[in-house]
Amino acid sequence: MSGILIRGASLVGGDRADIRIADGSIVAVGSASAESGDHVIDADGLVALPGLVDLHTHLREPGGEASETVLTGTRAAAAGGFTAVFAMANTTPVADTAGVVEQVEALGRQHGYATVRPIGAVTVGLAGQQLAELGAMASSRAQVRVFSDDGHCVADPLMMRRALEYVAAFDGVVAQHAQEPRLTEGAQMNEGPLSGELGLTGWPAAAEESIIARDVLLAEHTHSRLHVCHVSTAGSVDVVRWAKARGIQVTAEVTPHHLLLTDETARDYDARFKVNPPLRRAEDVAALRAAVADGTIDIVATDHAPHPDESKECAWSEAAFGMVGLESALSVVQHALVDTGMLDWASVARVLSTTPAHIGRLAGYDRPLSVGAPAHLTLVDPAASRTWSPGELRGRSRNTPYTGLTLPGRVVATVHGGVPTVLDGALVDAETVAAAAGTGR
């Protein structure tokens, strides 16, 4: 394949245009003609988005391959329109050394479905006792710029201060899992009348909000960048909004599931809906949607958390926390924010591509869909809809919370660095992607 010609796509500004791709870059936008050997995509009715970027993905490899691998996770990413993912550090061994992050980055390059940027652990073994090799990971081939103990809060304020001070030296960011551990011991779901009714230990909103409040003050004190993972409460939105008004370098993310689902899903003790942080009240969902619309929350990130069936098909109290979300993210954002009139497609590009890339200091997304830019793009059919089922998933795990829901939108094509990874709504086979990406396998 010498190139790709996309005919008549709707750009996020509303204009229709042809887009021609060759040698990994966009070479024409506007009116373009196919050249010999080009693969032609009829994009009538499709929206062209810059390739989506997920700042919060759990790929599980190394050590958790029963749940996901870099290959299966990036295939799921491509199916959802993502061309880059940031892989969380809670693997086995933990990604707390240059060697582990380089291994994860290399696996991403080998498979070719998406750019994989490892997230380095803040502390050794995620234990919160000793800073990990932050500088070594930053200067490694993986060029780590995002550090997180996600799954665990960096609860010690002195440890958090030191981490913020350290990463500031190389323009890194600490992505905090805001969960005060003493306030959430044994917690199973959002604390409220329903948790009492169901007999499940409650998870108070203050456990999240108090850590965010502490950390924005530490970020101000250290003149460093703080990113808040999976904001879930209206109170957290208020704290982030206050910090931004004060000029503190804080960014925040929300997950698709926190934009759509509420704690009412726990009534049937269906562990598909057990997640950390927990699903909250309808009032929190409304506040989170409004915060994305007004820019208080900067990005949407999936927190894609695959688990084997046995970790979810069990009693609620014994089940693992987490949901998969790469394949469904764009559809949920369309349903919750676009179809409700709260975001336009240009804003979708901002919260799902350009801003997460900027936070993670990922090159190639600062001038998307322009001549000379790397060819990372996603074509979506916003008029399509489908009833969600585990059959929509392309990763290794099946713990989706959306089974039975009708969701809008369909990813028709994904192009990563000029290489098609999805065409006509179907994944391109792994050997073809690896060969086209020049990685070999």
Q: What is the pLDDT of residues 74-106, one digit of tens each?
A: 999 999 999 999 999 999 999 999 999 999 999
Q: What residue segments make up the domains of the chain, in order of their start? A: 4-47+373-436, 51-359
Is 300 strand, coil or helix? Answer: strand
| Global confidence as pTM | 0.97
What average pLDDT score do residues 310-327 get?
97
β partners of residue 18? 30
* Gyration radius (Cα) of the chain, Å: 21
Pairwise CA distance, residues 299 & 305, whole Å: 18
Annotated binding site for Zn(2+): 56, 58, 150, 177, 230, 303
pLDDT tens for each residue of 351-402: 999 999 999 999 999 999 999 999 999 999 999 999 999 999 999 999 999 9
CB 161 within 8 A of CB 218: yes
pLDDT at 2 over 90: no
Would you state the pLDDT for residue 269? 98
Pairwise CA distance, residues 39 & 4, whole Å: 5
pLDDT tens for each residue of 291-305: 999 999 999 999 999
Is 128 strand, coil or helix? Answer: coil
pLDDT at 439 over 80: no
| DSSP per residue, 362-420 | -TT-SSTTSTTSB--EEEEEEEEEEE--GGG--SS----S-TT-EEEEEEEEEEETTEE
Residue type, position 207, single letter: A
Pairwise CA distance, residues 62 & 10, whole Å: 40
CATH fold match for the domains 4-47+373-436 and 51-359: no
3-state helix, strand, coil in the chain (%, to 5): 35, 25, 45
Would you state the pLDDT for residue 25? 97
CB 63 within 8 A of CB 22: no
The CATH number of domain 4-47+373-436 is 3.30.420.40: no
- Residues marked active site are found at 303
Query: How many percent of the chain have pLDDT more than 90?
Result: 96
What average pLDDT score do residues 121-127 get?
98
Exposure on the CB side of residue 160, measured as CA atoms within 13 A: 26
CB 87 within 8 A of CB 56: no
Average pLDDT of the chain is 97
Would you state the pLDDT for residue 441? 31
51-359 to CATH, choices 3.40.50.720, 2.60.120.620, 3.20.20.140, 3.40.50.800: 3.20.20.140
Pairwise CA distance, residues 401 & 200, whole Å: 20
Would you state the pLDDT for residue 438? 78
What average pLDDT score do residues 124-144 get?
98
Would you state the pLDDT for residue 440? 38
Query: How many percent of the chain have pLDDT more than 70?
Result: 99
For residue 13, what pLDDT band results from cuts at 50, 70 and 90? confident
Annotated binding site for substrate: 58-60, 90, 276, 307, 321-322
pLDDT at 70 over 60: yes
Annotated binding site: 56, 58-60, 90, 150, 177, 230, 276, 303, 307, 321-322
Written as six digits, the tokens of 411 are 């990813």
Residue 407 phi/psi, 5-degree rounding, is: -120, 145
The number of beta carbons lying within 10 Å of the beta carbon of residue 30 is 12
What average pLDDT score do residues 342-346 get?
98
Would you state the pLDDT for residue 190? 98
Residue type, position 31, single letter: S
Helix 234-245 with 205-222: angle, nearest 10 deg: 10
What average pLDDT score do residues 309-324 get?
97
Pairwise CA distance, residues 52 & 376, whole Å: 8
